């Protein structure tokens, strides 16, 4: 039985005031200062096929500054860090013990009448105090989504519609196995409880997850220094409902030049490096460039959304929607040349929010620069490739075709703006986890979906549990025919045919049977209703 969240506004408001009236001290590990060297996040590496770890989620909201939400590893220790990178190999188990200790003092401005109203309409949830089905959601409720992983949509694995973890004991246990045929690549984790996702991701509760073995599929990365970049976005209004000032951060270091000096990357002259970037912003579309002497350099794409690319893909601008990942090889500047890492800016359409150009980091070269650890060596020639999922998706005949569309209403009955993702022919409705699924299919299906954008702003289509073949945009073939779990759906100009993307969805894996979601990964849109449910029945 499906249950959903009730968001009782009165409870939520009173729940904001936890603890005493005394000023809160910052429980989060200190974040790096502007203008300092950028380091990789701490790596937690699986041992003998298991990665065991414990996180505590805490928050801090200093008056007049940015909200912080931190996944703390080794709390109460001098080596406490936030949001380490989880590193596992195909077939490994993750055993993550998670404790929610969110409290808001002072409360963040939950000035979202549309959201609150949407959620207050939802029926009550299931068994109280069972994080898998029940309890009443409050502002400090949370859960974790493992973005991009092709694992079961089950409680304690990767289920986010009903899983609601409160600030109580005992810890909640996430336990799952990385499929043995999963691709090496970059994934990420973040809260995904409908209604508070924007708030919590805005506070920085995000981290990377890397499945090892890229050098076995893409030997060109073997031995290269490996950098892990988590790009986040923080709004002064942490719900970022209204467009306002925001700051990008690179591994938590402010990337806000010229207000602050830029983050620093130390490199050896001419060094080739393997960069792994996750866009964990709440709503930022990134056009990444590595510039030498002011000119964007060609970079070689190795993987997108955790899946190694099929064909040679060389670009000067790496476009990543919110939630997307890009892994690529850069060649550093010669001694004496200037170089920098940029968000080149992204036009999100006539009514989209600004995504302005921003220098993310500057490179300092020296022969004795300390580089990050290198990727493993390539396997000996002739070694068989590890098994890969989504085989030959481009040649599979689809079992069904569907059309979906993004739409917005500015005069809806539920608030100033409603956000929808709708199956063509159904009535547009904001997300309600208690509604019947919008799409029902079964294990084994391979479906071609056209996703239209009927609005004047860019959206980011994302689906849980699976990847899809990204076939075309506005009828133009994607030259790389790569696999994604998140894709840019361009803004519609307002005249002529709607903008659209065509995707081939792969529901062949029996392990992903169940109920899960697809949505816009602009998190404000998701929180405001631009999400829907698909049910994949067992074969």
Contact residues toward Cu ion (CB under 5 A) are 459, 520, 522, 525
Beta strands in 181-245 (DSSP E): 185-190, 207-211, 226-235
Minimum gap (Å) between residue 93 Cβ and Cu ion: 35
Cis peptide before 133 (omega within 30 of 0): no
Minimum gap (Å) between residue 15 Cβ and Cu ion: 28
Minimum gap (Å) between residue 103 Cβ and Cu ion: 30
Minimum gap (Å) between residue 180 Cβ and Cu ion: 35
Pick 40 or 486: Cβ nearer Cu ion: 486
Joined together, the tokens standing for residue 501 give 């993307």
Minimum gap (Å) between residue 117 Cβ and Cu ion: 19
Please identify which residue in the block is written with the tokens 């990357």.
265
Is residue 394 classed exposed, middle or buried when 0-12, 13-18 and 19+ CB atoms within 10 A define those classes?
exposed
Distance separating alpha carbons of residues 173 and 177, to the nearest angstrom: 13
Pick 6 or 525: Cβ nearer Cu ion: 525
Pick 51 or 522: Cβ nearer Cu ion: 522
Minimum gap (Å) between residue 525 Cβ and Cu ion: 3
Pick 100 or 455: Cβ nearer Cu ion: 455
Nearest to 471 by CA among 523, 509, 508, 506: 506
Minimum gap (Å) between residue 346 Cβ and Cu ion: 14
DSSP states of 259-284 as a string? Answer: TSPPPEEEE-TT-EEEEEEEE--SS-
Distance separating alpha carbons of residues 266 and 221, to the nearest angstrom: 19
Minimum gap (Å) between residue 524 Cβ and Cu ion: 8
Which alpha helices (H) appear in 101-218, and where do they start and end? 113-120, 197-202, 214-217
Which alpha helices (H) appear in 385-533, and where do they start and end? 523-527
Distance separating alpha carbons of residues 322 and 281, to the nearest angstrom: 6
Strands 400-409 and 418-423 come out as: antiparallel
- Closest CB to Cu ion belongs to which residue? 520
Say if CB 136 and CB 11 are below 8 A apart.
yes
Pick 351 or 369: Cβ nearer Cu ion: 351
Minimum gap (Å) between residue 455 Cβ and Cu ion: 8
Nearest to 484 by CA among 314, 303, 346: 303
- Kindly tell me the sign of the dihedral angle through the C-alpha atoms of 491, 493, 494, 499: negative
Pick 323 or 513: Cβ nearer Cu ion: 323
Pick 299 or 489: Cβ nearer Cu ion: 489
Nearest to 489 by CA among 400, 412, 410, 407: 407
Pick 474 or 481: Cβ nearer Cu ion: 474
Pick 138 or 430: Cβ nearer Cu ion: 430
Pick 330 or 520: Cβ nearer Cu ion: 520
Distance separating alpha carbons of residues 326 and 287, to the nearest angstrom: 11
Minimum gap (Å) between residue 449 Cβ and Cu ion: 16
Bridge partners (DSSP) listed for residue 235: 246
Distance separating alpha carbons of residues 137 and 529, to the nearest angstrom: 17
Pick 58 or 519: Cβ nearer Cu ion: 519
Minimum gap (Å) between residue 530 Cβ and Cu ion: 5
Strands 531-537 and 439-442 come out as: parallel
């Amino acid at each position: 039985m499906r249950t959903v969240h009730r968001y009782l506004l009165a409870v939520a408001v009173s729940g904001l005031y936890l603890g005493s009236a005394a000023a809160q001290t910052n429980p989060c590990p200190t974040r790096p200062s502007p203008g300092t060297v950028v380091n990789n996040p701490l790596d937690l590496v699986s041992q003998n096929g298991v990665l065991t770890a414990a996180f505590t989620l805490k928050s801090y909201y200093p008056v007049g500054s940015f909200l912080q939400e931190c996944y703390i590893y080794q709390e109460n220790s001098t080596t406490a860090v936030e949001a380490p990178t989880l590193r596992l190999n195909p077939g490994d188990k993750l055993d993550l013990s998670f404790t929610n200790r969110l409290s808001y003092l002072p409360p963040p401005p939950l000035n979202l009448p549309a959201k609150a109203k949407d959620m207050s309409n939802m029926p009550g949830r299931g068994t109280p105090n069972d994080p898998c089905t029940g309890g009443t959601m409050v502002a400090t409720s949370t859960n974790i989504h493992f973005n991009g992983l092709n694992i079961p949509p089950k409680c304690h694995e990767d289920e986010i519609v009903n899983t609601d973890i409160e600030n109580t004991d005992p810890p909640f246990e996430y336990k799952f196995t990385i499929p043995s045929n999963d691709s090496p690549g970059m994934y990420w984790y973040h809260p995904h409880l409908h209604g508070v996702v924007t708030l919590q991701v805005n506070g920085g509760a995000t981290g990377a997850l890397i499945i090892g073995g890229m050098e076995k599929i893409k030997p060109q990365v073997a031995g290269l220094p490996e950098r892990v970049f988590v790009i986040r976005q923080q709004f002064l209004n942490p719900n970022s409902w209204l467009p306002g000032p925001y700051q990008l951060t690179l591994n938590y270091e402010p990337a806000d030049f010229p207000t602050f000096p830029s983050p620093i990357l130390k490199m050896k002259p001419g060094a080739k490096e393997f960069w792994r970037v996750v866009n964990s912003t709440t709503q930022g579309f990134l056009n990444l460039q590595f510039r030498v002497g002011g000119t964007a350099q060609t970079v070689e794409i190795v993987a997108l959304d955790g899946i190694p690319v099929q064909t040679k893909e060389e670009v000067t601008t790496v476009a990543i929607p919110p939630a997307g990942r890009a892994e690529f090889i850069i060649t550093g500047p010669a001694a004496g040349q200037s170089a920098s890492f940029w968000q080149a800016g992204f036009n999100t359409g006539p009514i989209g929010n600004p995504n302005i150009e921003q220098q993310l980091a500057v490179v300092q070269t020296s022969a004795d620069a300390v580089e990050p650890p290198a990727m493993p060596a390539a396997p000996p020639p002739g070694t068989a490739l590890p098994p890969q999922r989504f085989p030959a998706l481009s040649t599979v005949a689809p079992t069904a075709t569907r059309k979906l569309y993004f739409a917005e209403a500015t005069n809806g009955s539920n608030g100033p703006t409603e956000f929808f993702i709708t199956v063509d022919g159904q009535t547009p409705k904001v997300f309600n986890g208690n509604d019947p699924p919008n799409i029902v299919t079964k294990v084994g299906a391979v479906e071609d979906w056209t996703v239209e954008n009927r609005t004047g702003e860019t959206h980011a289509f994302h689906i849980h549990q699976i990847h899809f073949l990204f076939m075309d945009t506005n009828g133009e073939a994607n030259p790389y025919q790569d696999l994604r779990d998140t894709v840019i759906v361009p803004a519609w100009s307002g005249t002529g045919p709607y903008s659209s993307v065509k995707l081939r969805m792969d529901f062949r894996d029996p392990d992903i049977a169940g109920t899960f979601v697809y949505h816009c990964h602009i998190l404000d849109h998701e929180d405001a209703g631009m999400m829907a449910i698909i049910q994949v029945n067992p074969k």
